[in-house]
Amino acid sequence: MNAAVVGVGYTELSRCSGRSVLDLAQQACRSAVADAGLHPSDVDGIASFMLMHDSVPCQAVASSLALPQTRFALDLQLGGQAPCYLVWLAALAVTSGQADTVVVYRALNGRSGARVGTMAFPGAGAQHRYPIGYDAYLMYCAMWGQRFLHETGQGELDLGAVAVGQRRWAERNERAYRRSPLDLGSYLAEPYVVEPFRADDCTVEVDGACAVVVTTLERARHLRHPPAVVASGAYRAGPRPGLDIGDHLLWDDYTRNYTSWLRDDLFGGAGLRPTDVEVAEIYDCFTSTVLMGLEGLGLCGRGESGAFVREARLPLNTHGGLLAEGYLHGMNTVAEAALQVQGRAGDRQVARRDVCVVTSGALMDGSALILTTDG
């Protein structure tokens, strides 16, 4: 692959932006382009995703940024599975010359507008869930989490380790929505929302936008910041991924998500192994997703993820994750990965930053990237 992430942009993350989604999108994209040391007229590709029309299409951003033309555009009807996938597709596009510079964004009024947590997803599986009160994405992840903890011999202390560990990082992130310290005692004292999840096991829905800029490695080497090289990427759905985003009944094993399925291609594509990873940004709409991702990617052994997190064996979700920074569906997880590899993460910068793995998605399907330093 011959592509790199060269810039990131964010809006403020808030409970009520008071702004249109398009306004959030154009600001994040404009910021990311400027951060890279580029001008909007350098951009000729756009990629984004939305669920149930909670965002704006790429053409609206092309108009808002007054792009001279768009050579590559991609609107996906997906949620948190999409960010790594889109960056990977953008990398393929610039590598193959379909575009020179692509901006990838996620924008939504996820708190004050359409809230994904309580959206009724259409599809043939929906009729079996919503009428019986099995009606939130959180419940589906909880269903998997329960079985995962049972089979791997783990429990609430392991979920709590994720929430507590990530909050320590969030204390150093001025963007994070949840920044107050969290200890295990306070975590365990919270009531359940949907057992086994308490409030601090769950991401916080916010209004906001995030964007990253992808261009060729040759171009990247002449820009403002060191490139975060896209070393490899993969999307994967295992067999029988269901009839819609919330239909998990056909999936065999609730203890292994898409990360188990894409691991070999992801690391093989980069010529690296899990033991080479120096920083990990694992999609975390809920705490159990982090544990499952660590085990699925082979960063630790089966049943060892809780201890792995508790002992802080690897810098993990260094922005506080979606749990603490806010739910931009993992676009911000990719942006954090780029910042770390570029050495621009400020107070939360990790010392060893040559190899970062980042994931997008929680259940049957999802995607991942390996970002590396140049050279």
Partner 1 sequence: MEPLVDEDSRAYWDGLRAHRVVLQRCPACGRTRFPPMPSCPSCGTPGADEVEAGGAGVVYSFVRVHRSFSADHAAEVPYTVVVVELDEGCRVLGRIEDHGRAAIDDRVTAAYVDHATWTELRFRCLR
Q: Which residues are at the interface with partner 1 (CB under 8 A)?
A: 117-118, 124-136, 138-139, 142-144, 146-147, 150, 191-196, 239-240, 243, 247, 249-250, 254
> 129-143 in b/e burial notation, b at 16+ Cβ within 10 A?
beeeeebbbbbbbbb
Sheet of 45-49: strand order equals: 72-76, 45-49, 101-109, 207-216, 3-10, 228-237, 365-372, 355-360, 279-281
Note if the bond before 83 is cis, omega within 30 degrees: no
Residue 160 or 196: the one with the smaller Cβ distance to partner 1 is 196
Q: For residues 204 and 111, give the distance between their C-alpha atoms in angstroms, rounded to a whole number.
A: 9
Q: Closest approach of Cβ 120 to partner 1, in Å?
A: 9
Quote the radius of gyration of the chain (alpha carbons, Å): 19
Angle CA 69–46–55, to nearest 5: 120
Residue 18 or 133: the one with the smaller Cβ distance to partner 1 is 133
As to burial, measured by CB atoms within 10 angstroms (0-12 exposed, 13-18 middle, 19+ buried), residue 344 is middle
**Rounded to the nearest 5°, which phi and psi values hold at 250?**
-85, -5
- The token duo for 119 is 């959206």
Query: Minimal CA–CA distance to 331: which of 77, 118, 79, 117?
Result: 79
10, 140, 177, 327: which one is catalytic? 327
Residue 84 or 363: the one with the smaller Cβ distance to partner 1 is 363
Q: Closest approach of Cβ 212 to partner 1, in Å?
A: 32
Q: Closest approach of Cβ 132 to partner 1, in Å?
A: 6
Q: For residues 9 and 106, give the distance between their C-alpha atoms in angstroms, rounded to a whole number.
A: 11
Q: Closest approach of Cβ 239 to partner 1, in Å?
A: 8
Residue 242 or 366: the one with the smaller Cβ distance to partner 1 is 242
85, 177, 254, 283: which one is catalytic? 283
Residue 283 annotated in active site: yes
Q: For residues 346 and 374, give the distance between their C-alpha atoms in angstroms, rounded to a whole number.
A: 20
Q: What is the number of residues in the chain?
A: 375
Residue 128 or 352: the one with the smaller Cβ distance to partner 1 is 128
Q: For residues 184 and 255, give the distance between their C-alpha atoms in angstroms, rounded to a whole number.
A: 24
Strand partners, 4: 215, 229
Cβ(220)–Cβ(6) below 8 Å: yes
Residue 34 or 143: the one with the smaller Cβ distance to partner 1 is 143
Q: Closest approach of Cβ 361 to partner 1, in Å?
A: 19
Q: Closest approach of Cβ 39 to partner 1, in Å?
A: 44
Q: For residues 259 and 367, give the distance between their C-alpha atoms in angstroms, rounded to a whole number.
A: 8
Q: Closest approach of Cβ 121 to partner 1, in Å?
A: 12
SS3 assignment, position 186? helix
Residue 16 or 124: the one with the smaller Cβ distance to partner 1 is 124
Residue 177 annotated in active site: no
Angle CA 368–372–374, to nearest 5: 145
Q: Which residues are catalytic?
A: 283, 327
